[in-house]
Structure 1
């Protein structure tokens, strides 16, 4: 998977012969989260849809083929208050 100059590589091989171990969420900050959501929403298992979060970001989450949760986020610009 590639977006701009960021690339995540998934393999079909079980290189470490270990069960899935990450119980957290991997967050990836991107410039235009709404545009990326439109590109992947029908191609991925959506963990939560695109939404404005109380802590100031706009994000959505997917589950990958190994059961990991990946969140794509766009932090709101500071208001200068």
Structure 2
């Protein structure tokens, strides 16, 4: 059986350049490649692609109904870096399921959660 090796989210946006700017200037990603209507963003083990919406699918804004959860080794450091520069979905807290986390909205209103186990 074929082995699945990774998953890379593809965020649809009509504002690729603004999205690249948000991820590089605010969140500390690097732009690995950019062409008209498409870019790849990289930070540590994380890869995100952004692209113009598929013309075969109706698009009125972000369509993802969940969030993107990013595990980190220092959630407190990220919170301190971004709490005053990002739109907060919910503030940092310890949750009953054993994670310390917070969530922000990116410039397209996709929800990005950042967390680590409370016992770390």
TM-score normalised by the shorter chain: which range applies? 0.7 to 0.9
Hey, what does 1:70 align to over in structure 2? Answer: 112
Residue deviations 1:27-73, cap 9 Å, x none? Answer: 00000000011001111000100100110000000011111111001
Report runs of 4+ in structure 1 exceeding 2 Å deviation.
Answer: 1-11, 14-19
Matched, 1:6 2:21: no
State the TM-score, normalizing by the size of structure 2: 0.54
Larger RCO, structure (CA 8 Å, separation 6 or more):
1
Contact 2:99 2:116 in 1 (8 A): yes
Greater helix share, 1 or 2?
2
Matched, 1:16 2:54: yes
Contact 2:104 2:112 in 1 (8 A): yes
Select the structure of larger CA radius of gyration. Answer: 2
Contact 2:94 2:118 in 1 (8 A): no
The gaps in structure 2 that reach 5 residues or longer are: 1-22, 24-28, 30-42
Matched, 1:42 2:79: no
The gaps in structure 1 that reach 5 residues or longer are: none
